[in-house]
A and B are shown apart, each in its own frame.
Chain A
Amino acid sequence: MTATTRRERRGTIAGLILLLLAWEAAGQGGWVAGGALPAPSQIALRAWLDRGDYPAHILGTLRTATAGFVVGSLLAFVLGVAYTRWPRLQRAMSGVDVTIFAMPAIAIVPILIIALPGDAPRVVLSALSVYYPAMVAVVLGLRQADPRLLDLVRVHGGGAVAALRWVRLRGGLPTLLSGLRVAAPAAVLGSLLAEFGSGSSAGLGTYLIGSLGRADPARLWGIGLAATALSALAYLAVGLVAARFAGDTVPASTPVGTAAGQAAGEVRGWVARSMPLLAFLLPFALWEAGTWALRLTDVSEIVFRDPAGVLAHLIWDEGAARNRGDIAAALAQTLPFALAGVALGLAVAFALAIVSLLWPPLGATLLPLSLVTQSMPLVALTPLVVLIFGRDTGGILAITVSVTFFPAFVTIAQGLALVPPGLRDLISAWGGGRGIWLRRVAIPWATPYLCAALRLAAPRALLGVMIAEWLATGTGLGNLLNEARGRMDYGTIWSVAVVSVSVAVALHTAAASLERRVLRRFAFAS
């Protein structure tokens, strides 16, 4: 057991060193995309020359990401506890939660920058990015308490508060911490994204955007790697705390069966029937309430749109037809890429996860690599991918595939790792070969995990496409948003945000309902 893991680890390290050497050679030779891929040594040299710039930018990102992480985790904790206590509240809030999870963060960046002063947009976006994974982990951790221990508390006259205090909180801590660990890199990404178009503040996102025009690949790589290191450190730091409380066994991605943190407990009658409607309306109600709250501040009213305002922009305002046309055209550019990227990324992930079952060295190299890329901030990745694959179709597709492939591979590979080894022997004992085993066990087993990966990947793909469009290609929703920001066209800013968030929520909802059906089909659900 230990011998094989040691050998595996040695294989992984050897693979990574090989990769690094190949990279150095490719960079020195200028083999990739006419020198768009600099050698590691060239990146290091550039970073050394830029060493005066880095501290302020790193500190700026670190400060706002940390603040966002704390705010987001606190919010997740409070709501997670409330959801555990009142499952109906979770149902009512499910629309808000899914919106926060699925929305392409970049879509609301201009709005946050309009509405909030100073560093607040960065803190808020990073808090929003942290909230959902952290909340799901809190609810999961608190709900998984041993039912007999809960009985024991009740038998001694303890209510919900006593159960929380003596059993649920401490018992859920490992799950909660592993959720926070996954959320930590998201905090960094949120902070970086909110620097888009904010201008002055110091941060790696600002530095990246400011360096885009200089066409210096080594600098872009340096910033990308610094951002990656930052979020990897955040992941490790929270992981260190988590390890102290053991139970360090929860997979780094959202496991199967926790589709969107489904609320437990049955609700019957008219309350149940009106729940979906309430869940649907609540995000709009909060939006409306938010605009009312902003009217009380001294921010100019012309920059805001409430739901009616967005409808006006798209339906009955003067020029509404043109507005609609712009957005529809942009959506027609963005959506195909997002969907193609998801399909391609998932297909490759599914195939490779199955292949690495038959040929373990592949998995031993790919899995750690995939885990590392999970903490890579998308923003930092995008310019690099575009540099290599070009500003057109290839670049965007490469981004969506990389954005969806790695997390999907992790989800599916970790799911397949749970196949009982005895099953394989059993099939052999019955005289079945690899083919039978693949068809009867591995593929059916991996299917629910594929669906979970789809649900997680679909919104991410949209975000990836929009970032690429904003930064590089000058097409689609991302570009429309960036342009509208430049023109101070508030109607379009709000409409693009609403449309892209709605599309992401629709994709997520479709994936989640497919997942539920598959889970039921494979009897994973209770």
Chain B
Amino acid sequence: MGARDIRIDAVERRFARAGQAPLLALDRVSLDLPAGSFTALIGPSGCGKSTLLRLIAGLDAPDGGAVMVGGAAPRVLQREGRLGIAFQDAALLPWRTVTGNVRLPLDVTGHRDRESLARIADLVALVGLAGFEQALPAQLSGGMRQRVAIARALVTEPDVLLLDEPFGALDQILRRTMNAELQRIWMRRATTTLLVTHGIDEALFLADRVVVMHGPPGRIATIVDVPFARPRPLTLFADPAFRALEDEVAAALYGRVPGSAA
């Protein structure tokens, strides 16, 4: 099966709070992610980005509305082992090597066929960790650990890829490199991808569409289409058209009118 579409329909999510009215984390959010598309989700801290991502992953259930992945509940995608996910910090098993950590999804899904196992070495090389296959997480830098987590998210060749600020802890230079690598990996195989990020430039460089959220209560403010053709070169960051789009997203994010003085 190939990439699947994601339909988010009037989703609500409330969290109980001691001694207060429940917190409305998502307020009737609707969003369609076409199969094989790349969407970036951007917004201030606490606006409900991770909550939305967890709903799509089937790690949490909405209080109202529905989330459908490929026309079925997210749990179906889980059960079929067709989902890939990475979080802000790597969350690796400290007792497993790089190879062992990338292998974890295969162990859990039980898909330990030759073809899948062979993919581990390719992915480790792809994220630039050749030579570190047998290293333990404690022996790696933060950026290297994060790349292990990316490789792990990709090892099942998922139909849906969910990335929650995966480069948030990396420095700017490493971040750019990882952006380029992620684009390359993503272009090899169409995967419906949702990237939560704080970086406007990163969102515009990678995504077809940038969804700007406000909140709480979390809701979608604007959706900005990104027209640049792929593969996008790193020089794109300096492109005037790119800069103009950056201003547009920033305005949507901070509520400023484009072009006005700061």
Residues of A within 8 A of B (CB): 146, 148-149, 151-158, 162, 166-167, 170-171
Determine whether B188 belongs to the interface, using a CB cutoff of 8 Å to chain A.
no
Give B58-90 interface residues, CB cut-off 8 Å to A: 58-59, 78-81, 83, 85, 87, 89
* A155 and B57 contacting across the interface, CB-CB below 8 Å: yes
- Digitize B102-130: 1 where CB-to-A-CB distance is under 8 Å, 0 elsewhere: 00110111000000000000000000000
A155-B59, A156-B108, A156-B109 as given contacts; A149 in contact with B83, CB under 8 Å = no
**Between-chain CB contacts (< 8 Å), 30 pairs:** A146-B91, A148-B87, A148-B91, A149-B93, A151-B54, A151-B57, A151-B87, A152-B85, A152-B152, A153-B108, A154-B58, A154-B59, A155-B58, A155-B59, A155-B78, A155-B83, A156-B81, A156-B105, A156-B108, A156-B156, A157-B78, A157-B80, A157-B109, A158-B109, A166-B93, A166-B104, A166-B108, A170-B95, A171-B93, A171-B95
* A154 and B91 contacting across the interface, CB-CB below 8 Å: no
Residues of chain B with a CB closer than 8 A to A146's CB: 91
Residues of chain B with a CB closer than 8 A to A157's CB: 78-81, 108-109
Complex-state Cα separation, A167 to B91, whole angstroms: 11
Which residue of B54, B79, B89, B93 contacts A167 across the interface (Cβ within 8 Å)? B93
How far in angstroms is the closest Cβ of chain B from A170? Answer: 6
Residues of chain A with a CB closer than 8 A to B109's CB: 156-158
Interface size bracket, B side: 20 to 34
Residues of chain A with a CB closer than 8 A to B59's CB: 151, 154-155
How far in angstroms is the closest Cβ of chain A from B111? Answer: 9
Complex-state Cα separation, A158 to B109, whole angstroms: 7
How far in angstroms is the closest Cβ of chain B from A157? Answer: 5
How far in angstroms is the closest Cβ of chain A from B149? Answer: 9
* 9 more A-B residue pairs beyond the given contacts A152-B105, A152-B152, with a C-beta to C-beta distance below 8 A: A148-B87, A151-B57, A154-B78, A157-B78, A157-B81, A157-B108, A157-B109, A158-B108, A162-B108
Residues of chain B with a CB closer than 8 A to A156's CB: 78, 81, 83, 105, 108-109, 156
* A166 and B107 contacting across the interface, CB-CB below 8 Å: yes
Complex-state Cα separation, A170 to B93, whole angstroms: 9
How far in angstroms is the closest Cβ of chain A from B90? Answer: 9
How far in angstroms is the closest Cβ of chain B from A245? Answer: 8
Complex-state Cα separation, A162 to B108, whole angstroms: 6
Residues of chain A with a CB closer than 8 A to B58's CB: 154-155
* A151 and B85 contacting across the interface, CB-CB below 8 Å: yes
Complex-state Cα separation, A211 to B40, whole angstroms: 80
